[in-house]
Amino acid sequence: MSSIRDPGSRPLTARGAATRARIVNAAADLIYERGVERTSLDDVMAESGVSKSQLYHYFADKDALVLEVIARQTERIFESQRPDLEALESLAALKAWRDGILRLNKATRGKGCPLGSLASELANDSEPARKRLADAFSLWRDRLEAGLAKMRDRGEIDASANPHDLALALLSALQGGLLLAKTSRSSRPLEAALDMAIDHIARRATARTGC
């Protein structure tokens, strides 16, 4: 997702790439904890052990760094949902993905989705960040949609099902469930939201084969 290059577009050395990655990872962790507004470049330097001149060698300003944080968090989300997200070809696989999300929510102690938090903070303020976040959510929706399209093509869900809208609704339920779980310090809203979405998809199956 994030192509590794320096501002002058020359390829980075291995050491340069490692330094750059250390900066982005530190910024991603701090921003996930505190939000963009309360994370300063000084905090990022202290956390990553990188000097000001090194940081400015790789990033023109905080906005440029934040765009890379969005890319990094998107990668992390896809990594954390591997292999489930790539193998979403059946209702059973969809339920395995749901279980993985709930485990992850527990492991992060319900801190919410890093992309959702970035979107909430930045979508009305920064047009480049909003676009990057919209692209990240589109990619996520694409993965879900591809799985739902396979289920439809294999006849597991009804031929009239719209994988695009179902994926959009599933991702919305996930985001809203994570937000309410974070606020209530309970996984129940997340479970209720995902179970509704998956039950809704499953009923498209039983409506065809049942009754």
Minimum distance, C-beta of residue 180 to a copy of itself, in the bound complex (Å): 5
Residues 38-97 that bind a copy of itself (CB under 8 A): 38
3-state SS class at 113: coil
Per CB under 8 A, the segment of 8-16, 51-59, 86-94, 185-193 that binds a copy of itself is 185-193
User: Could you say whether residue 184 binds a copy of itself (CB under 8 A)?
Assistant: yes
- Closest to 176 measured CA to CA, from 107, 133, 100, 112: 112
Residues 92-151 that bind a copy of itself (CB under 8 A): 111-112, 116-117, 119-121, 123-125, 130, 133-134, 137-138
Minimum distance, C-beta of residue 68 to a copy of itself, in the bound complex (Å): 18
User: Could you say whether residue 196 binds a copy of itself (CB under 8 A)?
Assistant: yes
- Closest to 199 measured CA to CA, from 86, 101, 98: 98
Q: Which of 33, 42, 99, 142 binds a copy of itself (CB under 8 A)?
A: 33
User: Could you say whether residue 182 binds a copy of itself (CB under 8 A)?
Assistant: yes
DSSP 158-206: -TT--HHHHHHHHHHHHHHHHHHHHHHT-SHHHHHHHHHHHHHHHHHHH
User: Could you say whether residue 158 binds a copy of itself (CB under 8 A)?
Assistant: no
Minimum distance, C-beta of residue 139 to a copy of itself, in the bound complex (Å): 12
Minimum distance, C-beta of residue 144 to a copy of itself, in the bound complex (Å): 12
Tell me which amino acid residue 156 is.
Answer: E
- Closest to 71 measured CA to CA, from 19, 20, 8, 109: 20
